[in-house]
Amino acid sequence: MGKLSNKVALITGGNSGIGLATAKLFKEQGATVVITARSKESFEKAQKELGSLFDIVQTDVSQLSELDRLYTHIKAKHGKLDVLFANAGIAGFRPTSDVDGGYFDDQFNTNVKGLYFTVAKALPLLNDGSSVILNASVVSGKGLPGSSVYSATKAAVRSFARTWTAEIPSSKARFNVLSPGPIETPIMGKMGMSAEQKDAFTNQIATTIPARRLGKPEEMATVALFLASSDSSYLHGADILADGGLGQV
């Protein structure tokens, strides 16, 4: 018997990185896992590579109509949700002087609006005693140059967990945050940097982490499993920093 036997879990952005590592671990632990992929291309790739493992739904979480379609599908096919990992997000780093309205809106629409309504629209499907995990970041509480917009989106995520914990009965759902540090995931290649810039960024930031390395998606998945399972039954509104010590010193 796995820790998530007979549970239905939804992982947004579960087609790569932390989301995919978590989806695989949740399945190993007995869950029926639904994952989302944002674009047609990523959805078709996930269907080809992962369709035998997971129920995959193409969903851009920033589009409320697509969230409605996602939850209509889950209700019809699975009838409930026991675990929600609101993981989908985008990252970008620019100095404040280079930020324009489109860049700002893209990050807030996905990381804040998208996550908010991912949770809000899931509430009718959540079983009593469900676990909701919000993917934030160490930068929600730490200032890094160039991260003004991204950090603000993740600070909002941290705030949501506090408010929902105060607002929604604990018998209905627990709300906790997973805040990774820098992780070796495909998102590192989507931050608008060249390969040389990405390597320099990775090497530079590794020197600031007490662990002296970037984390791995599988290391985040084990924390997500802890938060999803009854092992964390007394955690409500917590923020778990799985960051190699970056936010601690």
**pLDDT tens string 193-210:** 667 777 777 888 888 899
Of 61-65, 108-112, 141-145, the poorest mean pLDDT is in 141-145
- In a domain, residue 22? The reply is yes
Active-site residue, from 103, 116, 150, 234:
150
* Single pTM value for the model: 0.94
Residue 71 bears catalytic tag: no
Is pLDDT of 190 > 80? no
- In a domain, residue 64? The reply is yes
- In a domain, residue 247? The reply is no
Q: What is the DSSP letter of 215?
A: B
- In a domain, residue 216? The reply is yes
- In a domain, residue 201? The reply is yes
Parent domain of 20: 8-240
Q: What is the pLDDT of residue 192?
A: 58
- Amino acid at site 57: V
- In a domain, residue 2? The reply is no
Domain count, the chain: 1
Is the backbone of residue 237 left (phi > 0), alpha (psi -120 to 50) or beta? left
Q: Please tell me the total number of residues recorded for the chain in this structure.
A: 249
pLDDT tens for 100-128 read: 999 999 999 999 999 999 999 999 999 99
- In a domain, residue 114? The reply is yes
Q: What is the DSSP letter of 10?
A: E
- In a domain, residue 102? The reply is yes
- CB burial class (10 A; 0-12, 13-18, 19+) of residue 11? buried
**CA 141, CA 234: separation in Å to the nearest integer?**
23
Which of 74, 82, 86 lies closest to 130, judged by CA? 82
**CATH value at residue 86:** 3.40.50.720
